[in-house]
Chains A and B, each alone.
Chain A
Amino acid sequence: MNFAVSTRQGRPAASEVLRRLPEYLTIWVPLLLSAAHLIAFSLWTVWISFTPSTLVPVSGWVGLRNYSAVAASRNWQIAFDNLLLFGSAFVLLSLAAGLILAILLDQRIRGENVLRSVFLYPLAVSFVVTGTVWSWLLNPGLGIEKLVHDLGWTSFRFDWLIDRDMAIWTIVIAAIWQSSGFAMALFLAGLRSVDSDLIKAAQIDGAGPVRIYRRVILPTLWPITITVIVIQLQFAISTFDLVRALTNGGPGIATQLPALVVYDLMFQRSLLGRGAAAAVLMLLILLAVLLPYAAWRYIQRRRTNHA
C-alpha cells in the first residue's frame, strides 16, 4: 500500500529508494555482514597472535614472541621455501598450459564444446578428490610407475611422491591439472574478443598465423594474464586441502605449506597464539600479491579515464 501512495504523491526520490530497496537489501546487507566478519575476525586473529594463548584464547601481551617462534621453526621455513617454489612453478606452468590449450581450441575445431568441458571439468572436482586420486596415480607401487612396469619397461622410475626432493612437484602437477582449465577459459574468452578487423588487417599485410598470435593477439591478452596470475597466486598461497589429501606434508615434513602449518599449530598442537601468528604471516604474503594488483588496477582506471 505504501508503495502505491508514495508514487501517486509524486515524490520520485523517495519512491525510487523504496522501489530499489529490495536490491539494496540483497546487495548491501550480505556485503556488509561478510565484510564485518572478515575484518572483525582478521583483527581478532591479529590480536590473538600477540597473546600467550594456547588451548583457549587468553588476554595478555607477548609482543612478537609468537612470530619469532614461528619464523624460527623448521616447519615454517620449509613451508615458506615450498610456497616460493610451488607458487611460481604452479602459476607459470598453469598459465602456459592454459594459454596453449586456449590457442589450440581457438582454431575453430570440431567438438570444441566437448573439449572445453573436458578441460574445465577438473575445476568442478574438489581438491580433496583431486589430491586423493593423484596420490594413487603417483604412488609408485600402484599407479603410473607400476603400469609402465607391467607393460614391460621395468627400469622406468617415477617415484616423486615418495622422493622428498621432488614431492613438491607432485602438488604442482595435481594443481595444474585442476586449474589450467580455468586459465584456458579466461584466455579463450580473451582470444575471442580480439577485434577481427585487426586480424584481417594483419593477414592482408601478409603475416602468418604464428606472427599474428605473437604480434597482434597475445599483446591484447595481458590484462587477462595478470588477472589469472593474481587469482592463481592467491590460490597457491592458501592451498590446504590439495596438499593435505595428496602428501599430507610428507614425506616427513618435505611438502609443508603455510596453511598446513597454521592448521597444525592451532588445532593439532593447541598453540592458538602461534597459529594466529602464522595466519597473519600468510595474510601479509597475500597482501604482498594483492596490494600491487590493486594499485595497478587503480592506475589503469585513471589512465583510461584521462584518455
Chain B
Amino acid sequence: MPITTTRRRLLAGSAAALALPAFVRAQGAVKPRLTVISQWSAGSDGAAITALGKKFEEKGGVWQHSPVPGFTTEMMNKLRAQIIAGDPPACSQLKGPEIAAWSKIAPTVDLDALVAAAGYEKVVAPDLAKLHKPAGKWIALPLQIYSTNMLFLSKRAMDKAKADKPPVTWADFNALAEKMKAGGVPYPVANGGTRPDDGQKFEAALAGISPVVYRAAIMNLDEKALKAPEIKAAFAQVRKLADWMDPNVGAQHFSTNLKRFVDGDMGMMIMGGWAQGVLRNAGFKFEDFTIAPGPSDNSKPVFLLNADAFIFWQRKEADLQAGQTLMAQLVMDPAIQTMYSQITGSIPVRTDVDLSGNGWSDGQRTTAAALKDAIASNQAVLSLAHNMAQENGMTAAMIDVITEFVKNKTIKPEQAATRLAEAVESAR
C-alpha cells in the first residue's frame, strides 16, 4: 500500500515538473539556458566559475558547464570538434588574438547593444577592448585580468640584502640582485623554466626597457622595430636574469621552488598575479613577500596584460540566446567581476571597481593601480608569453627563440635578436 502512494505521488510530481517549463513559457518568458566550455575545473578557477554559474541560476537560468581539464589546447580541441559538428557551445573560454582567428570559422554573436547598454567600453583598457571586437563588433567579453610582469620580492632575501624598497628600473633591479648575491642569497632571481616562464622574462625585460618598441615589435611585428637596439638590450637583460637563476630549475614549474623563494634562498620573482594565489594556497603569509609592478626604465608602471574572456557563438535556440544575454550582462557586472577576482586573485577588467574593501589583497590593489597608471601613460601592452599579443603559431615561433636563448648561454644577444626577426618572418 505505501508503495502505491509513493508511485502516485511520483507521477503527480513528474507531471508537475513536466508542466513547469510550459508554464514558464506561457508566462511569456523563455528560461535562459547556457552551454559553456572552459578548462576551469579545479582550484580557484573551478571555484570561481562555479560561483558564476550559481549567480546565473539565481537569475533563473539553466547553467550547463562542461569543463575540459588540462591545457588550454585540450579545451580548444573540444571546441574545434563541436564547431566542426555544427554544434558550438553558446559560450566558451577563449582569449587574445585567438578570438579573431576562431571567429572566422564559425558565426559569433554581436554584443554591441549589450556592451553599449552596460557602458562597458569606457572602463576597459583600449588594447584589451580591441581584441574582443576583431571586426569592429564586440563578440567576446573579457572576464578578469592578470599582469604577467609583477615583481614578487622575498622578505627574507630583502633582509639579507638590507634593502626595503622595491626596484623601479632595470638598473635598480640589477643593483638589488647584486646586493642580494653579496648578502648571501644564492639565487637572486626565482623562476620556473617552462616556455611561458622564459617568455615572461623576455617580455618583462623588453616592455620595461621600452613599451613603445614592445608594442611595435611584438604586438605589431614591425620589421624595423624588430631590429631595434632595444631588442638586443632586452635579450642582454634576460641573460642577466638567467645567470642569477638556479641552473637546476631546468623545465620546472615556477611553483616548485616557492618555498626556497619564501626562505630567502631565492630573491625576486617575475611572475603573473596568479602567483599570489599559489603562494597563499601553499600556506605562505602576506608578510613573506611583497608585490610591486615589474621594472620600468621610465619609472611609470608597465602592465603586461593577460585577460581571460568568453566568446559567444551564434545559436538559433531562443533559450540559449536568452542565456547569452544574461551571461553577457553578468560578466560585465562590477559585482560579479569583484566576486570572480576575489576568488582567483586576479583583478577586475573594469577599471572603475573599488578595491579598497576587505576582500582584496595589497597585491591586487598594487596591480589594479599599476593598470590604471599604465593605461594613462599608454604603457598597458599585451603579453606575448600568454598568447595575448599574437596568435598561437606566431607566439610559439618567437618563444622558441627566447627559450633557446635562456637555456643556451653561448647564444649572444645580437644573435638572438636576429633569430627573433627571422622567426617572425618565417611564421608570418
**Residues of A near any B CB (own CB < 8 A):** 54-57, 69, 72-75, 135, 139-142, 159, 161-162, 164, 247-248, 250-254, 264, 267-271
Contacts and interface: CB of A to CB of B under 8 A. Distances in A.
Q: In the complex, which of the residues B252, B400, B408 has the most CB atoms of chain A within 10 Å of its own CB atom?
A: B400
Nearest to B83: A56
Contact of B250 (A57, A73, A161, A253): A161
Given A250-B403, A250-B407, A270-B391, A140 B248 contact: yes
B426 A73 contact: yes
A248 B198 CA distance: 14
A66 to B, nearest CB: 13
Contacts of A56: 80, 83-84, 105
The B contact surface, by secondary structure, is: helix
B248 A162 contact: yes
A270 B101 contact: yes
Contacts of A57: 84
A250 B250 contact: yes
A141 B248 contact: yes
B426 A267 contact: no
A270 B73 CA distance: 9
A254 B407 contact: yes
The A contact surface, by secondary structure, is: loop
Nearest to A247: B251
A252 B426 contact: no
A271 B408 contact: no
Contacts of B105: 55-56
B73 A251 contact: no
Contacts of B426: 69, 72-73
A54 B396 CA distance: 14
B246 interface: yes
A57 B84 CA distance: 9
A270 B397 CA distance: 12
Contacts of A140: 247-248
A230 to B, nearest CB: 32
A248 B252 CA distance: 10
B272 interface: no
Contact of A141 (B76, B246, B392): B246
B101 A55 contact: yes
Contact of A264 (B194, B396, B403, B404): B396
Given A268-B73, A270-B393, A55 B407 contact: no
B401 to A, nearest CB: 9
B428 to A, nearest CB: 11
Interface in B105-157: 105
26 contacts: A55-B80, A55-B101, A56-B80, A56-B83, A69-B426, A139-B248, A140-B247, A140-B248, A141-B248, A142-B248, A161-B250, A162-B247, A162-B249, A162-B250, A247-B250, A248-B194, A250-B193, A250-B251, A251-B251, A252-B403, A252-B406, A253-B403, A254-B408, A269-B397, A270-B101, A270-B392
